[in-house]
Amino acid sequence: MTGPGGCDWDRLREAAREAMTRAYAPYSGYPVGAAALVDDGRTVTGCNVENASYGLGLCAECGLVSQLLNTGGGRLTHFTCVDGRGELLVPCGRCRQLLYEFGGPGLLLQTPAGVLPLAEMLPQAFGPEHLTT
């Protein structure tokens, strides 16, 4: 069913849950799955991938943006993220910045406080536009 922002959020969250089942999180015991819609209708997903060298762990959003580029690029329009129980999770600060690069301020995020644009989750963001002279 279509919800806020013209998105079937239940379906997108299901894709995030499925990705979460493939997470590699033996150190934190905290699997994460992320899913997003692309402006051409594709769905891209990612899961977190940890490492014995703890600081090298990759968030689920890293895998998601990698899949975005590796399957044709485009812009992210809708995003959701879940924990190991399948409950909504808000992306960490670093991942908000990752998402900003490929979705910009208008990217819609499903959060416990409702569907919000990334502009509200990462106010006054630094982005590619600041590097143009």
Annotated binding-site residue? 27: no
Q: How far is the CB of 132 from ligand THU (least distance, A)?
A: 28
* From 14, 18, 61, 101, the catalytic residue: 61
Distance, CA of 5 to CA of 28 (rounded, Å): 33
Strands, sheet with 76-82, edge to edge from the N-terminal-most edge strand? 43-47, 33-38, 76-82, 108-111, 114-117
101 part of the active site: no
Contact between 35 and 43 under an 8 Å Cβ cutoff? The reply is yes
Q: Is 59 annotated as a binding residue?
A: yes
Residues within the interface to ligand THU (CB under 6 A): 25, 28, 30, 32, 48, 50, 57, 59-61, 91-92, 95
DSSP state at residue 36: E
Q: Are 118 and 106 in contact (CB under 8 A)?
A: yes
Nearer to ligand THU, 45 or 48 (CB): 48
Question: Which residues make up each annotated binding site for Zn(2+)?
Answer: 59, 92, 95
Q: Specify binding-site residues for substrate.
A: 48-54
Residues with active-site annotation: 61
